[in-house]
Amino acid sequence: MKDIDDTKAPLFEHLVELRRRLLWSLVVLAVAFGVCFYFARQIFAVLVQPLLQAGQGKLIFTDVFEAFFVEVKVALFAALMLCFPVFATQIWKFVAPGLYVKEKRALLPFLLFTPVFFGAGAAFAYFAAMPWALHFLLGFEGQVGGVEQEALPGVGNYLSFATRFLFGFGVAFLLPILLMILERAGLVTREQLANSRRYAIVGAAVVSAVLTPPDVVSQLMLLVPLYALYELAILAIRVTHWRASRAAKSASAVGEKEEGPEAPPGGGRVGGSGPI
């Protein structure tokens, strides 16, 4: 019975620690949501800039509560984006005590670069992909059989469009980090990744179809960078292996130099003769 008690105590402590981390994250999220909800209109004004650049200056809402719930969704989306570093820090503090020093050194850079790559993907979507896709999609306005075809996007539909672009591109740009973690864990090798390029193209097409609106331009805007990031991951893994091999050779050379040549027998006297 003593062994059972000993196994239960650490598990209970881990659950208490996990509960504390989750509550702290929820408190931070609630505070961030309150602040973002106060500035929800200004945040949404930033999100609609690509639509304005595409020549569409009007958004409509047909449901009485639609505009209010759009501001709620905007505030929640912005709060989640702002709190991501807090969530990542809490996860790290919960997991790090159970890792070896070598494992911490291997995982910490990936954790630090995750928000950078996610932000780069969201920025690419905001400044490049969304304006291009909106220009293409709004280009269907005009006369169709003598009838005027006009785009009147709703606030809810546009918010869904914008968040799917930002979140989809942000997650897609995390691909190099994911592949490097899998390679570091020994689940895949660089040779396997290099030999699976055809499957990577198919996978990128599937991900693009799921994470972007159903039009060819939007899907290509994600498919091309996604496959480029796949190739970047292979290159980064190759450079990492090259640097590790070079460091190992340098350490081996330094070790051999510190040991020096072996001392000859006879107390170190070479070429001398004994007493006559």
The span from the CA of 175 to the CA of 62, in Å, is 39
Confidence of residue 47 (pLDDT cuts 50, 70, 90): very high
Q: Confirm if 61 and 70 have CB atoms less than 8 A apart.
A: yes
3 state DSSP class of 3:
helix
Question: CB neighbours of 33 closer than 8 A, spacing ≥ 6?
Answer: 75, 76, 79
Confidence of residue 268 (pLDDT cuts 50, 70, 90): very low
Q: Does the pLDDT value for residue 274 go beyond 50?
A: no
Cα diameter, the chain: 125
| 161-200 residues labelled b (16+ CB within 10 A) or e (exposed) | bbebbbbbbbbbbbbbbebbbbbeeeebebeebeeeeeeb
Q: Does the pLDDT value for residue 246 go beyond 70?
A: yes
The span from the CA of 212 to the CA of 221, in Å, is 9
- Higher pLDDT: 98 or 7? It is 98
Q: Confirm if 159 and 212 have CB atoms less than 8 A apart.
A: no
> Can you give the three-state secondary structure of 111-135, one letter per residue?
HHHHHHHHHHHHHHHHHHHHHHHHH
| Token pair listed for 48 | 């609609």
pLDDT of 264 reads: 54
pLDDT of 257 reads: 66
The span from the CA of 84 to the CA of 111, in Å, is 11
3 state DSSP class of 149:
strand
The span from the CA of 111 to the CA of 104, in Å, is 10
User: Using one digit for the tens of pLDDT, what is the confidence trace for 188-222?
Assistant: 888 888 898 899 899 888 888 887 767 777 788 88
Question: CB neighbours of 114 closer than 8 A, spacing ≥ 6?
Answer: 88, 174, 177
Chain mean pLDDT for the chain: 82
- Which helix or strand (DSSP H or E) is residue 177 part of? helix 175-184
The residue among 35, 106, 119, 116 whose CA lies nearest residue 75 is: 35
The span from the CA of 239 to the CA of 247, in Å, is 12
Confidence of residue 46 (pLDDT cuts 50, 70, 90): very high
pLDDT of 275 reads: 47
User: Using one digit for the tens of pLDDT, what is the confidence trace for 100-112?
Assistant: 777 777 777 788 8
pLDDT of 271 reads: 46
User: Using one digit for the tens of pLDDT, what is the confidence trace for 163-186?
Assistant: 988 988 888 888 888 888 888 877
pLDDT of 74 reads: 95
- Higher pLDDT: 101 or 87? It is 87
Confidence of residue 7 (pLDDT cuts 50, 70, 90): very low
Domain-by-domain residue ranges, the chain? 7-137+154-252
3 state DSSP class of 144:
strand
Which residue in the block uniquely carries the two structure tokens 């960078």?
225
% residues pLDDT > 70 (the chain): 88
pLDDT mean over 15-35 = 92
pLDDT of 5 reads: 41
Q: What φ, ψ does residue 263 adopt, rounded to 5°?
A: -75, 135
DSSP β-ladder status, 142-144 and 147-149: antiparallel
pLDDT of 25 reads: 92
- Higher pLDDT: 142 or 95? It is 95
